[in-house]
Chains A and B, each alone.
Chain A
């Protein structure tokens, strides 16, 4: 009798990495794919490099035509000027608060809802699930006004609460976690039920500890969305003290004049956390996009 596939629930994200190269055909060798990939990589990198370069130029240089990609001198002073001219630290803190709250909210509420949809039989479950999925197909622009009205009725306009409340749970997270929970062996949960665990006990003590990769993916994706969100803060936040980074950055673009070099310096600083996160958690980004096929 073959060995039992013992409850190997934790699929490792690293397993989704490219297949092994056959022995003898190691890196360095040229592949025709590189003809495609190298130009694409360049297209992707150029804006980033340009942003970095611009952030180190003087204002005059940024207005030079044709644009120069090599700064004559490195104006690190741009960075300190940004920090002095705008409440950058405040915006950064606001963004962190909103992002952390949304990540925690999504992990918690999407787990609860995802688990209910995955395992609890209740009247109207399938219909409710389809409805939730359907909301993924509604563009945000369509629901801006109703959402605004709801948030206003909570007296949250121009507070961080306006940014947090509507984003505490999302259809995407519910869907993703439900799919993952359904892959866990049901016997584990039955064993826990017989062992005396409650529904919530099962979720928090058995299911979630085994869902690390899915939770990490959701956390990473939520982090990125929230951190980069611009439109919703633009609509709900007026006072500089409650602005997030993305919104604050926009204030560098005046109606008549834009200090491009300062804007780019601020951009670089606001991007750092996301870049850092990407390097640390790259595999979860890839997994999130690969396994669900939506948003990224």
Chain B
């Protein structure tokens, strides 16, 4: 068991691409930390630096109380699960599990004991004699987990371990992962681009973009108080609605929406963030705006409604954003709201949506930073 620290770590590749820019991060002993962000944000690079597969250009990486910058992966006492599992195709499951122990000259009875233990935790007993090609995706995933667990490492590194599983299996393995972590309490760094995995698994999550940390915090805190526009647009599904607005004279206006500005709000352009789940049919005293329903997606437990309101959206730079065409009408902004399952509007409906003022998120448009509300 050990804590992992990265201090002012920068990674620049040969072609001068800066993958990580001055990353400082502390993973507590036994913590489950998630690195989440769009592809190319540097999260995998950070993980590979901790594993020792890449060398930091500058900065210091510590595992336990040892600076490991110049320590080989072999001697870092970490284990890693790869996105494509990287099981050795020519070895049986059992040999895959035992490989790391054999390479470390673990005595044979000890290898037998540990492989047996891990395979019973992960339910691999039946599969020990098979080869990776004879396993299903979920089974391969478990073997990859087992190969890491069997080493009893001080830290556990996972690189998008669930992204190759189908949706149902992913949910199962997610719970399984959490159970294993609760049981063994190994310091874990987990890389994902899936915010649901990030929210559900992590003790804390680190939202990254462009090689920089955007926010670190407990999942609920990051969700409730996104530190900047990027995090606001990235965490939450469907994502937060962000409308262009203006603050001044003690109030904020965005399209039709108008409410009292919280005290520290400086005058100027702001982004007004409205979580889809915070929007509801307006009560009298609520700030509200007229919403025209365009598409209705009933999900059983809730209804996701896409439509438009008067106003303009704010770009956050989140992945895939450029792919979505903005409303053709410049004066209209797309908006998503989540309704209770018993409300099922039809396209064309005009509904007045309201939001409690304390649920509104405000961001300074010049800096992108959140304005405390």
Contact = CB atoms under 8 A, between A and B. Distances in A.
A190 B85 CA distance: 11
B56 interface: no
Interface in A187-232: 187-188, 190-198, 201, 205-206, 209-210
B82 A193 contact: no
A195 B99 contact: yes
B53 A193 contact: yes
Nearest to A202: B103
Contacts of A7: 84-87, 89, 132
Contacts of A209: 90
B272 to A, nearest CB: 35
A197 B165 contact: no
Given A4-B164, A196-B103, A187 B86 contact: yes
Contacts of B86: 7, 185, 187-188, 190-191
Interface of B: 51-53, 72-74, 78-80, 82-90, 99-100, 103-104, 132-133, 137, 140, 147, 151, 163-167
Given A4-B164, A195-B74, 19 more contacts: A1-B165, A3-B137, A4-B140, A6-B133, A7-B87, A7-B89, A7-B132, A10-B90, A185-B84, A187-B83, A187-B84, A190-B86, A191-B147, A194-B80, A195-B151, A196-B74, A201-B103, A206-B88, A209-B90
A198 B104 CA distance: 11
Given A6-B85, A187-B86, A192 B167 contact: no
List of 5 A-B pairs having minimum Cβ-Cβ separation, nearest first:
A195-B100, A187-B86, A196-B103, A4-B164, A191-B86
Given A4-B84, A201-B103, A209-B90, A193 B73 contact: yes
Nearest to A195: B100
A5 B164 CA distance: 10
Contacts of B137: 3-4
A193 B5 CA distance: 22
A194 B78 contact: yes
A55 to B, nearest CB: 45
A188 B132 CA distance: 13
Interface of A: 1, 3-10, 185, 187-188, 190-198, 201, 205-206, 209-210
Nearest to B169: A1
Contacts of B89: 6-10, 188, 210
A209 B99 CA distance: 14
Contact of B99 (A4, A5, A185, A192): A192
B269 to A, nearest CB: 40
Contacts of A194: 51-53, 73-74, 78-80, 100
Contacts of B163: 1
B145 to A, nearest CB: 13
Nearest to A196: B103
Nearest to A1: B166
B67 to A, nearest CB: 19
A196 B85 CA distance: 17
Given A4-B137, A196-B103, A210-B90, A187 B164 contact: no
B351 to A, nearest CB: 35
Given A194-B51, A195-B99, A195-B103, A1 B74 contact: no
A195 B89 CA distance: 15
